[in-house]
Structure 1
Amino acid sequence: MKNYLFTALVFLLTFSGMQAQEVAQLTLNESILYAIENNVTTKNARLETLISKATVKEKTALGLPQINGSFNVDYNPQIPVVFLPNQPPFGDPSNPSDVIPARFGVSYSSGLGVNMTQMIFDGSFFVGLRAAKTLTQLTDFDLVKAENDVIENVKKAYFGVLVNQERIRLAASNLARIDSLLKETKALNEAGFAEKIEVSRIQVQRNNTFSQMERSRTAWEISKEILKIQMGMPLTVDILIAETLQDLNPEEELNQLLALESEGRVELDQLKTQIELVQLDLKFNTSQYMPTIDFIGNARRTGAGNQMNTVFDKKNWFGSSLLGVSMNIPIFDGLSKSARIQKNKYTINQLENQRFFLNDNFKNEIFTAKSNLKNDLNLLDIQRENLDLAQEVFEIARIKYQEGVGSNLEVVNADSALIEAEINYLAAMYDGLISKVNLEKALGLLKANLNN
């Protein structure tokens, strides 16, 4: 995380203020670092780690002395009456009633006190403290998982931008080639060496190529918006990609990746920590059967007077204090603790079953990802060969047509085949990159491959 602020500053410096719209030039690694810092998911995950640390402090505070102060000023408009029996030797023979009303108290009173409690023994406190620290570990793993998900999404979105960018470049190149051929064919038609249908045929091909380029431009703009959303970048900022698909698709690296074994998945760390939390909750519920012991102390001074101005006379104030130990012994709770303990045990069994399933599922995920990457690499070789052959066929067809030994239809068909070969080659390259990301995820290497 130490690079996040630096990377954000780099982006601010690369924004161009000379244009109506700010522009950021990006590499894949810069996109990932920016996304980790600014994506909403990772931002919330980092906040969750701070919440968990605050929870640890909150739980720790329960074991420290709890001190509270109190102050009161009271006024009795009518002093309460206490009834005494009208009996000798304190009775009043002149009072026919069998009770004598008496008022005990004064009109005004005040008090100032301090109460303190200190936990001496509570088995659940130490369990709760361990659980809070374990929760912090879980939020750390959650942050790693969130960052991994962001890296995966940014990489795939970034590759989508690159593919559409390359499609635009190829479409522009194809359009230039078709325009050149169309110009030559029109000249031949005007000279009487080519039929009008030949011009129309190439014009149709030219229109199709232009439409393909416009669709690629639209897809490129959409893919950039998707990338900005994944990065958490303002949509008002335009982005320029500083890399090509070829830069990010070295076959040596892909072959090395195929030879690697899993380095562990953060999902298993998350699940293991969740099991630890439930086990601690089980201990917490079990500890509820033990008594709790607290030290209690308080000190208080009180004063009173029949007039408000005499309440705070020093001579009317007296002190009192108390020191003691209290013990709370649970006897019977309707078996609620027993039910919670059973729930904990069942939950642990569920999580253990899930862990076994995840282990098998991740092994299958690695096998599938490696198989897909191998297949994509083979297809990439085939599509590269097809592209070279299609280029060669087009050049031959064009030369034959220019020398009058070939047909216009043959050139148009060769051009269509070349365009299809280019599209297939780009698709194979993109599939290879996506399979690479999927394998990195399956091997638990997305975080380790930030510099790739």
Structure 2
Amino acid sequence: MNRYISKKIIKLSLFLASLLPFSALAQTTQPDSLLKEVTLNNAIEYALKRQPTLQQAYLDEKITESTIKSKLADWYPQVNFNYNLQHNFIVQTSVIGGNPVKLGVDNTSSAQFYASQNIFNRDALLAANTKGDVLLQAKQNTASNKIDLVANISKAFYNVLSTIQQIKISNSNISRLERSLKDAYNQYEAGITDKIDYKRATITLNNTKANQKSNEVILNARLAFLKSLMNYPKNEKLNIVYDSLQLENEVFLDTTQTLVDNNRIEFAQLQTQRRLLDANLKYNKWSYLPSVSANGAYNFNFQNNNFGNLYNKSFPNSYAGITLGIPIFQGGKRRDNINIAEFRLRRNALDLEILKNDFNTEYEQALAVYKSNYANYLALKENMGLAKEVYEVVNLQYRSGIKTYLEVIVSETDLRTSQINYYNAVYQLLISKIDVEKALGQIKY
């Protein structure tokens, strides 16, 4: 009996052990890259790690780094091996002193070890002089992509919050309107008012519900856009988390700041490009200089008319030397290349001037929009407080029989509109703040 139980236990253990790989596989296939709570900072950090455009930029950095190493490898000694085996069906014949003489044998073979070392080569010299700026250019491109991504995600996030806030306001208004409709209908049933009041309440409620439905559709579209920027799984839910009070505290910006061109990544990119263009000009001027390299080889030569005895005896030779290549005339190509390099350098200087003007225009426009939105924000904040106070008084007077229901609807509509306009103003102000910070070059990641 004990042996039977032991066999059962062993079989069960083997069965459970066989399931372990599948359970491990199931665990590894579970999504491990989802956010439980999506704040603005979380969304940005998530996107910086997974956005395909940024991943491409990181790969471009790796490609650039490897390309630089490949170019710099030309400064190292180059060692090669060549092997040759040849059978001559007809050996070359020359006439020497009136007599035909065969030059060579039926079978030949050779092996060569060849080494060379660059002493002066303008291509390798260019790679050595520009390696830092070339790699910096790739990193600056990544930084530019990060800045654009952070700004776009911030704006998309605020647009989502704006729509969520409008839906919350609609939900609150719908609850209030449903109670108001019920009161209006009860008063109609009691003969206190006619049917116009509760029908007006019905119309207002239906309009609010329609507006809420519209906002829900817009919210789905804005969430989809935010997911695409984050590279978030499209079928997964974004649990947006935010603090309204904190966001309101973040709308303020020092409008007395001055624009510093050097803070902009675009300016740094053009400066890097200028250094590379200057190096290219020197490279083209070096085309008048000779190229110098040291080289040497050791050759194994085997010759025999009998193929079986080909490798019995070797006739080696070796040499070492210096090769000097002097460019003499190339049809004016070098002068033209130098002119092209100089024109590109001058064009880059003009690009810098254009960029400075663009920076100033962009900053002034962004600052003007921010100031306008800030003034609008202050006015709408006051309006919302006033509209709430008016609605509460009118609603109380209506219940006391002093005001008509039409005045209640008007005040309620004013309240809803003021609430929506206020929260829209908050998020538009935050978006315009992002534009100002980007224009100032203050977005750094």
The TM-score, its normalising length taken from structure 2, stands at 0.89
Q: Of 362, 372, 383, which residue of structure 1 is paired with 2:380?
A: 383
Partner of 2:399: 402
Q: Which structure has the highest helix share of the two?
A: 2
Residue 385 (structure 2) pairs with residue 373 (structure 1):
no
* Cα gap change, 1:311 to 1:249, in 2 (>3 Å): farther
CA distance in 2, matches of 1:206, 1:131: 69
Matches within 5 A, 1:289-304: 289-304=288-303
Superposition deviation, residue 343 in structure 1: 1.1
Q: Of 345, 359, 366, which residue of structure 2 is paired with 1:348?
A: 345
What whole-Å deviation, never above 9, does each CA across 1:136-174 have from its counterpart, x for those lacking one? 111111111110000010000111111111111111001
CA distance in 2, matches of 1:259, 1:242: 32
Residue 90 (structure 2) pairs with residue 79 (structure 1):
yes
Superposition deviation, residue 419 in structure 1: 1.5
What percent of counterpart residues are identical?
27
CA distance in 2, matches of 1:414, 1:229: 41
Equivalent position amino acid for 1:125 in 2? A
Partner of 1:219: 218
What whole-Å deviation, never above 9, does each CA across 1:362-388 have from its counterpart, x for those lacking one? 133223322322222221111011111
Report the more deviating stretch, 269-278 or 352-361. Answer: 352-361
CA distance in 1, matches of 2:343, 2:333: 16
Superposition deviation, residue 281 in structure 1: 0.5
Equivalent position amino acid for 2:63 in 1? I
Partner of 1:177: 176
Q: Is the 8 A contact 2:38 2:239 kept in 1?
A: yes
Superposition deviation, residue 196 in structure 1: 1.3
Q: Is the 8 A contact 1:162 1:244 kept in 2?
A: no
Q: Of 255, 260, 265, which residue of structure 2 is paired with 1:258?
A: 255
Q: CA RMSD in A?
A: 1.9
Equivalent position amino acid for 1:413 in 2? V
Segments of structure 2 that go 5 or more residues without pairing to the other structure are 1-29
Superposition deviation, residue 259 in structure 1: 4.0
CA distance in 2, matches of 1:185, 1:243: 37
What whole-Å deviation, never above 9, does each CA across 1:32-81 have from its counterpart, x for those lacking one? 111112112211111111122112211211111111101122222x2323
CA distance in 2, matches of 1:36, 1:46: 11
Superposition deviation, residue 86 in structure 1: 6.0
Partner of 1:412: 409
CA distance in 1, matches of 2:383, 2:126: 66
Superposition deviation, residue 85 in structure 1: 4.9
CA distance in 2, matches of 1:337, 1:235: 56
CA distance in 2, matches of 1:38, 1:396: 53
Q: Is the 8 A contact 1:55 1:132 kept in 2?
A: no
Q: Secondary structure at the match of 1:249?
A: helix
Residue 341 (structure 2) pairs with residue 329 (structure 1):
no
Equivalent position amino acid for 1:254 in 2? F
Q: Is the 8 A contact 2:90 2:106 kept in 1?
A: yes
Segments of structure 1 that go 5 or more residues without pairing to the other structure are 1-10, 16-22, 88-99
CA distance in 2, matches of 1:338, 1:351: 20
Partner of 1:236: 235
Q: Is the 8 A contact 1:14 1:25 kept in 2?
A: no
Equivalent position amino acid for 2:168 in 1? R
Partner of 1:425: 422
Partner of 2:22: none
Q: Is the 8 A contact 2:68 2:127 kept in 1?
A: no
CA distance in 1, matches of 2:66, 2:355: 31
CA distance in 2, matches of 1:349, 1:218: 52
Partner of 1:45: 57
Residue 44 (structure 2) pairs with residue 35 (structure 1):
no
Count how many residue pairs are aligned between Structure 1 and Structure 2. Answer: 414
CA distance in 2, matches of 1:181, 1:363: 54
